[in-house]
Structure 1
Amino acid sequence: MGTADELMAIERELALGRGDVYARVLHDDAVVVVPGAVLNRPECVAAMDGSPGWDEVDLGEPRLARSACTATVVYTFTGVRGGATYRATLASTYTRDDAGDWRLLVHQQTPQDGPRRHAVPGPSQINLVVADVARSGEFYRDLGWDVGEPVDPHAEIRFDGLSVELDEHSSVAFWNSGSPDDDAAATLLSIHLDSREAVDALWSRMTGLGHESRQRPFDAFFGSRFAVLADPDGHQVGLLSPRSDEHRSDPPQRAPV
C-alpha cells in the first residue's frame, strides 16, 4: 500500500467523527484548523465527542506532498448530515512516531460552499410597504438594524449586497402601478442568529418593548429554534437559530400557540 493510500485510510476513519479515533491518531502537538476555530489535541477530541457524525461522506482523489519527515494529503471532502451538505478542501500533514505509525500533526479545512447557482441573479433589494416610515423605522432600529433617516416617505436599511427599503403606501404608485392594496399578508423575512439562546433573548427584548409576537420561540421540526415578530404594518420577521439534529422532529407538528 502506498503512502497516499495509507493516509487516506486514516482520513476515512477520522471522517466518522469519533473522539477515540482522534485521540489515537492526533500528534501530541497537533493543530486542527476548522471553520471558526483553531483546536489543540484535547480540544479536538472533546469537540469530536460532542458532535454528531456524518450520515454520508465522500473523499476525493488525494494529492500527496512528501518531505523527509512528513507527508501531506490534500483532497476534496463532502459530508451529508440530515438536510445539510458540507463541502471543503482538506489538507492533513502526518509524521511518524517512534513506533513508525502515522500521527496527524496539522489538519486544515477550507470550506468550498458558496452561493448556489441560479438561472437569474439573486435579490439585491426588498421593499416593504408601510403605513408610517418613521414608526416602522423604530421597530427595525429596536431589532438592531441601522436604519437611514426617512426621505420623502422612504427609508433604507443597507446590508452587504442587499437593501431593505421602507416605502409608505402613498409613494408606491410612483414605482408600481399594479401594487395591490392588501396589507403585508404572509411575507416573512428571516434573520439567522448564532444560537438558540439568541432567538429567545431577541424575542424577549422585542416583545418587552411592546412589539407584536406572531410565534413564540419553539423548537421547530426542521431543527432550529424559531420565533416570529411582526412590524407595525404586519410584515413578519423570523428569528432563526442554526439547525440541530437533536431538535428535529418528524412528522412536523403544528407550531405551539
Structure 2
Amino acid sequence: MADELWREERDFWLAGSAEAARKLDDGCLMVLPAAGILTRRKVVESLSTTPRWQEVTLIDRASIETDEVCVLAYHATARRAGAETYRALCTTTWVRRDGDWRILQHQQTLA
C-alpha cells in the first residue's frame, strides 16, 4: 500500500490542478510556509493560480500505515520554471474513503 501512495504523493506534486484537487479529502488541511493554514477550498484555489512543479524528488522517506490511514514523511526537493529550487520537510496523511485514497493533511517546513 505504501508504494502506491508514494507514487500518488509524487503525482500530487506534479499533476495539473484539477487532478491534484481530486486527491484531496473534503476535510483536508494544509500548512505551507508561504501560504499558512489552508482548508480544502483554499488549497484548490491555490492550485489553480500557482504554477505546478515540473520536477520533484522525495528522499529520506518514512511511512506508517494501517488499513485506513497512511502517513508519509520525507524531504522534498522541487523545481518549477523561473524559480529557485524548493526544499522542504513534508508530511502527508492519506485516508481511505470508500476505497479511494485521499489527502487529509499535508504540511511543509522549509529545509
* TM-score normalised according to structure 1 size: 0.40
Instruction: Describe the superposition over 1:19-74 as per-residue Cα deviations: whole angstroms up to 9, x where unpaired.
Output: 21232110000001101411111110110110112232211142111245311011
**Number of residue pairs matched?**
109
- What is the alpha-carbon distance in structure 2 between the residues aligned to residue 47 and residue 89 of structure 1? 20
State the Cα RMSD in Å: 1.6
Residue of structure 1 in register with 2:87 after alignment: 87
Aligned to 2:65: 66
Report whether the alignment pairs 1:105 with 2:104.
Answer: yes
- Residue 78 of structure 1 deviates from its aligned partner by 0.4
- Counterparts of 1:1-257 in structure 2, within 5 Å, are 3-16=1-14, 18-36=16-34, 37-67=36-66, 69-81=68-80, 82-98=82-98, 100-112=99-111
**Percent of residue pairs bearing the same amino acid type:** 38
Larger Rg: 1
Per-residue deviation at 1:5? 1.0
List alignment gaps of at least 5 residues for structure 2. none
- Helix, strand or coil: the match of 2:93? strand
Q: Contact conserved, 1:66 with 1:72, CA < 8 A, in 2?
A: yes
Evaluate the alpha carbon distance shift between residue 68 and residue 54 of structure 1 in structure 2; reply closer, same or farther with a 3 A threshold: closer
Higher strand share: 2
Cα deviation, 1:82-123, whole Å, max 9, x if unaligned, reads 35011011100011011x1111101000110xxxxxxxxxxx
1:67–1:20 Cα change, 3 Å: same
SS of 1:102 mapped into structure 2: strand
1:95 maps to amino acid: V
Whether the 8 Å contact between 1:78 and 1:88 is mirrored in structure 2 is: yes
AA of the residue aligned to 1:101: D
CA distance in 1, matches of 2:51, 2:45: 12
Structure 1 stretches of 4+ moved >6 Å:
none
**What SS is found at the alignment partner of 1:53?**
coil
SS at match of 1:84: coil
2:73–2:89 contact (8 Å) kept in structure 1: yes
CA distance in 2, matches of 1:58, 1:8: 11
Cα deviations by residue, 1:201-254 (Å, 9 ceiling, x for unpaired): xxxxxxxxxxxxxxxxxxxxxxxxxxxxxxxxxxxxxxxxxxxxxxxxxxxxxx
Aligned mates of 2:39, 2:83 — CA distance in 1? 30
- Give the 3-state SS of the residue equivalent to 2:14 in structure 1: coil
Gaps of 5+ in 1: 113-257
| Contact persistence 1:17–1:52 (CA under 8 A) | no
In structure 1, distance between residues paired with 2:16 and 2:31: 17
